[in-house]
Amino acid sequence: MEERDNILIAQTVAILVDGNNIERSLESEYENSHIMINFDVLIPKLLRSRGLNRLIYFREGKNISSKLAERLHSKYFGSVRPCHKSADIPLSINATQLASKVDAIIILSGDSDYVELVRHLKSEGVRVEICAVESTTAGVLKEEADYFHSITFDDCFVLPQAASFSKKASKKKKKT
């Protein structure tokens, strides 16, 4: 056995989610306002055997699902943070605060507003990965990142009440 076969690389990762950006991107891509990320599928794909240090879901406004908050907390010790306006500034502040505590930061957003944050984090020695819907992600953001993860339909689910609502809507259309 060679010496390098005994090397174990352990990295810690923070996942920061711009909830509004991801929700709008999914809605636009799949033309469905009831589609959500399935964190139970996406997080293991993103971590790839790395350790999760933090998971923070930033969301503009006060209308935040308590089920989502409870699920992220109970499964990943994550938190949901309401933002006064957009998530850009709170997410950026948290990312810079976490930079010295993690090896990698994964930002779930395709917003070009994060380009300067990505540059800053990389200059601090942090690996920066972007995870977003490819068609709604700024090219410059993908270029600046160390790695890009594409969110696909397989990483999502449609809310059950939306499915029953759409069945009712189609029945109603047939009657008229």
What is residue 43's predicted lDDT score, i.e. its pLDDT? 96
pTM value? 0.85
* CA separation for the pair 164, 176 (Å, rounded): 19
Exposed (0-12), middle (13-18) or buried (19+): which is 117, by Cβ within 10 Å?
buried
- Indicate if the alpha-carbon torsion angle 95, 36, 27, 148 is positive or negative: positive
CB 1 within 8 A of CB 74: no
CA torsion, ordered 49, 142, 57, 41, to nearest 10 deg = -40
Q: What is the pLDDT of residue 174?
A: 43
Predicted local distance difference test score (pLDDT) of residue 4: 57
Q: What is the pLDDT of residue 64?
A: 73
Which pLDDT score is estimated for 3? 56
Domain ranges of the chain: 10-85+94-107
- Contact predicate 110/137, CB 8 Å: yes
Contact indicator for 20, 87 with CB cutoff of 8 Å: yes
Predicted confidence at residue 2, as pLDDT, reads 56
pLDDT value at residue 62: 64
The answer to whether the CB of 12 falls within 8 A of the CB of 103 is yes
* Per-run averaged pLDDT (10 residues), the chain, 176 residues: 64 96 94 93 94 94 80 91 90 97 97 97 98 97 98 92 48 40
Residue 171 has a pLDDT of 44
Q: Distance between CA 57 and CA 23 in Å, rounded?
A: 12
Q: How many helices (H) and strands (E) does the chain have?
A: 7, 8
Nearest to 146 by CA among 111, 105, 109, 116: 105
